[in-house]
Amino acid sequence: MVQYTQARLDGSFAALSDATRRGVLEQLGRSDASITDLAEKFDMTLTGMKKHVGVLEEAGLVTTEKVGRVRTCRLGPRRLEEETAWLERYRRVWDARFDELDKVVAELTRKEKVDERKNRE
Amino acid sequence: MNARTESEVAPMKNRTTVERKSERELVVTRTVNGPARLVFEAWTRPELFRQWWVPKSLGMSLLSCDMDVRVGGRYRLEFAHGDSRAAFFGTYKEVTPHSRLVWTNEESDEGSVTTVTFAEQGGKTLLVMHELYPSKEALDAAGTGAADAMAETFDQLDELLVTLAASSGRREK
């Protein structure tokens, strides 16, 4: 399970660790585009852009379809899933944090009660 | 005579929710067992704040924590994660005791403005934390970790997430 998760995360983080690839995802979020469009937009060779798109495709973040001589790229099925996943990761961080906050507040409450008791005595 | 209160039942674990309210906004909510006065204290006194802000499961440690909690006052938190260091800093914009805190995150140009409200009800406090980012892209980046100074590289973030996933699966709370 952890192995599987790790492999998945490795793939998507490696894919996202490059500024051009993040830019490509952003671009595809606005509209589908051909490899040629993307290469032009990012001022790259066709071969270079093909490589980047390949990495994104491998990670499930982008799908491509060749119609005639043009390969069109669009956001892949992982996109929504990723969005949910990062919200869940974010939630877990806050959940862990707030669990600790609960402890701190419980301790403050306990101390206050002790002080009140002392004052009454 | 004082009855001891050792028979207290362990409170049910409170739920944390996260919602993306709009393209630029994220809202986190949580109820904390305790009056707003004490919860507010835990957010504004550095010696208390540092006890909870960096839970062990994050795999990070807090090196320093300076907080000058007043309007216009600044804060600075420094973290270590393995060999890497990261700092978070900004300015308090609003400080209304026991009910509201607003601060900026200035470690990047794309930093958010965070508003936390404390609403007490029946001895418990509902925390609502609202983060407003300057753009959709900034929030996306914060989410995917692209601009996440907490994890300077994706490898580290990856490692951290695996640790989180592993520890939440293995350890019972």
CATH code: domain of residue B98: 3.30.530.20
Residue B37 maps to a domain: yes
Residues of B in contact with A30 (CB under 8 A): none
- What domain range is B151 assigned to? 16-170
For B90-127, write each residue's pLDDT tens digit.
999 999 999 999 999 998 888 899 999 999 999 899 99
Query: What DSSP letter does each residue of chain A carry, written as one string?
Result: -HHHHHHHHHHHHHHHTSHHHHHHHHHHHH--EEHHHHHHHTT--HHHHHHHHHHHHHTTSEEEEEETTEEEEEE-THHHHHHHHHHHHHHHHHHHHHHHHHHHHHHHHHHHHHHHHHHH-
- Total domains present in chain B: 1
Does the distance separating the beta carbons of A87 and B16 come in below 8 Å? no
* Residue A48: predicted pLDDT: 94
The CATH number assigned to the domain with range A2-76 reads 1.10.10.10
Q: Is the ipTM of this complex over 0.95?
A: no
Domain residue spans of chain A: 2-76, 77-121
> Do B143 and A91 make contact, defined as CB atoms within 8 angstroms?
no
- Mean pLDDT, chain A, rounded, equals 81
Cα B125 off chain centre by = 15
Q: Which residue has the higher pLDDT, B153 or A32?
A: A32
Among partner residues A13, A87, A100, which is closest to B52 by beta-carbon distance?
Answer: A100
Encode pLDDT of A101-115 as tens digits: 999 999 999 998 888
Residue B99 forms part of a structural domain: yes
Q: For residue range A37-77, what is the model confidence (pLDDT) as tens digits?
A: 999 999 999 999 999 999 888 877 888 988 888 899 988 76
* Contacts with B, A 35-74, CB within 8 Å: none
Domain contains B8: no
Q: Chain B: give the shortest CA distance to residue A21, in Å.
A: 12
Site from A93, A113, A118 to mutate, B interface, most B CB atoms within 10 angstroms? A93
